[in-house]
Structure 1
């Protein structure tokens, strides 16, 4: 089975732990899975005035979302919620009204933070939006990476075996979900 994944990082920071987590997750993709890291850094803020002539970054997002069989969202936690960058991408992917590129897609959420709760609040808040968009969130295993600053080496490589094992479990669950989603 060949599966294409659209993977989005909700952090724009150059040395982002969230992006490092997403890249480490992508590196563990099973055989037959192609992971495309979707650059959402140049998306304009959602503005209905722009819907008449969609900006190129929005058109690119639509193309990448529509081409994907599965979506993976990695988010940091800001004030007990998910990243505004992810929110903007999800909103653009569901616009103009009646054009939901995310509809029916299986999705996994990776929560990542250098703090103790592993972005628990962000992941659960984001799941509410995913359900509204009619996406199919992976229920188990959940992925929360606490203490992210200690999980990567100076080259940005994941060094934590328990995190690697959890990522592999998430891939396994996501593949089952993808195979069972019409």
Structure 2
């Protein structure tokens, strides 16, 4: 079973992530068990899926996290997808989920992000990291969460900027 870093620990990933559908999202068969569905599938099948407590949603970099709206508060897991490590739109999606939509569940980074981004992702509210690259050393990745101990700017984890904390 694949592993991920969650809340500073390496654990088994018990969730299955569905790919974006090529056809109509309303026609996608969502299997039983813990499943992370694309945003398009959630929006198309919301009424049927919201009764389940084992459904998460993943948001691609070209999608707007605000489309989840109040549904975000009811989901156990939301994943933000990185199609490439240079595409930083998932950072913004993570902040929107935590700060505007009030999401309190597992916020997972998935895709092609790199270890150097973990500390910054955690500042945006991401607490779980599932690398697409299976060769990533998860012990080293876990240690990357502590790359920095102080930050000038505000974040989800520290809403007061450094100049205010020193005043």
Higher RCO structure (Cα 8 Å, ≥6 apart): 1
* TM-score, normalisation: structure 1: 0.36
* TM-score, normalisation: structure 2: 0.39
- 1 or 2, which has the higher helix percentage? 1
